[in-house]
Amino acid sequence: MKKTSRLFLAVLLAASAVSLEGKVMESSVATVNGRPVLASEYDAYLDGVVEQYQSAAPQFLEQPYAKDILGREVLKELISKELLYQAAEEEKIQVKDSEIDEGLNEIKTRFIIDETTGQQDPKGADKRFNEALKKQGMSLKTYKNKLSKDIAVRKLMEQKLQAEVKPVEEADAKALYEDVEAVMKNKTKKIKELEKENPTRLKEAQAIAAKLKQLTGEQVRIGHIYLSVTKDMKPEEAAKKEALAKQIKKEIDGGMDFSEAVKKYTEDKNSLISGGDMILIKGIAPKEIDAKAFSLAVGKVSDPIKSELGFHIIKIKEKRAERSISYEDVAKDLGQYLAQQRVQLAMAEYIEELYNKADVKVTIKFESDALLQDNASAAEESASSQAASNAKSGDNKPQATKAEESKK
């Protein structure tokens, strides 16, 4: 039961990640049983999601109506959270001050890293947390109130779903491993059986197999210095970056410690805490980096490498050959994966149940609404035309039959 409780907590933290919203405003993007989902909360949440995509998957934002796609998902999540808040109130879930304080301390640990230096600074965590609240126009009292609601939801979900979620047995994990192994070893007969009997399970096994192939594939640990070159950068600016990369390599060859060079020059601030260290899996990194990383000897530093992202200088620190994986190696992970899947399914079903009972009204308008309406109208016209055509064909058929009968 304790393990299950921790799992519920992990899933709920992921599904209800605490963010710092903006000032309370009168406008809303939806109402849930008469209560508003504030536009300020929606905008702050969406801005955070867009920022994450800009960092991790900028190509997604280049497609038409990308922000609408993200906006609809954000709205859906905020409505779900409001439904859960209200359900927790109806159940009269109580939250202790000590639980709020514990949750607040956990949130503050996320501010231990000083983003300007990339170094750990526990003493400055409170200051950075309060600055973040101030920047978003939120008081500590308001934030604690929201945190209390999130904790109440967590306790509600534990109460409602623990009894409904079936514990994962070892046989369940072994069965999943057999399916994953079949995909990894390309056992055609087994794969065809899965495709016919349980295509969803096959997709699940394929996704896990792909991940395991990455984890067990040939790897190299590198130190990484990165200089960014963007598409909109002027040629002379890009040339300066290239010249700087060559200068950095010369300084390293002259005796500068690589980790010091990382601290001084890299533009990848997120990796500063690790000294620029990262693990590369063969075939995953950009091909220019991949080729160098797996051909250089341990201890060697590359010349500047140009990719579509900019310039890179890498130092080979450690290499690991491809390895096999047994059930014992992944039994715990597979069990946790299955348990998480069951919890998420139960959560989704419970939220859908709440949604079907609720009075939800969406007031926000998306740019793509007009396009969707046009497509729906076009589809309706096409269906009407097809129906008219079928009807006309049907009317002619009896006449033709009648004419044939007359001839007889």
Q: Which fold has domain 219-320?
A: Chitinase A; domain 3 (3.10.50)
pLDDT value of position 8: 43
Instruction: With a cut of 60, say whether residue 321 has pLDDT above it.
Output: yes
What is the band of 379 on the pLDDT scale with cuts at 50, 70, 90? low
pLDDT value of position 10: 44
pLDDT value of position 2: 42
> Structural domain boundaries of the chain?
2-163, 170-216, 219-320
What is the band of 350 on the pLDDT scale with cuts at 50, 70, 90? very high
Name the least confident of 142-146, 162-166, 205-209: 162-166
Residues 113-129: what's their mean pLDDT?
Answer: 84
What is the band of 348 on the pLDDT scale with cuts at 50, 70, 90? very high
Residues 285-311: what's their mean pLDDT?
Answer: 91
Query: Dihedral sign, CA of 129, 53, 11, 137?
Result: positive
Task: Give yes or no for a contact between 20 and 130, defined as CB atoms under 8 angstroms apart.
Answer: no
What is the band of 304 on the pLDDT scale with cuts at 50, 70, 90? very high
- What share of the chain has pLDDT > 70, as a percent? 84
Residue identified by tokens 């899996």 is 281
pTM for the full model? 0.61
Q: pLDDT tens for residues 246-265?
A: 999 999 999 999 989 998 99
Instruction: With a cut of 60, say whether residue 21 has pLDDT above it.
Output: no
Which of 1.10.1370.40, 1.10.150.120, 2.40.128.110, 1.10.4030.10 is the CATH number of 2-163? 1.10.4030.10
Residues 383-389: what's their mean pLDDT?
Answer: 63
Burial of residue 72 (CB within 10 Å: 0-12, 13-18, 19+) is middle
Same fold: 2-163 with 219-320: no
Question: Distances in Å between the alpha carbon of 16 and those of 6, 30, 60, 92, 144?
Answer: 15, 18, 23, 20, 15
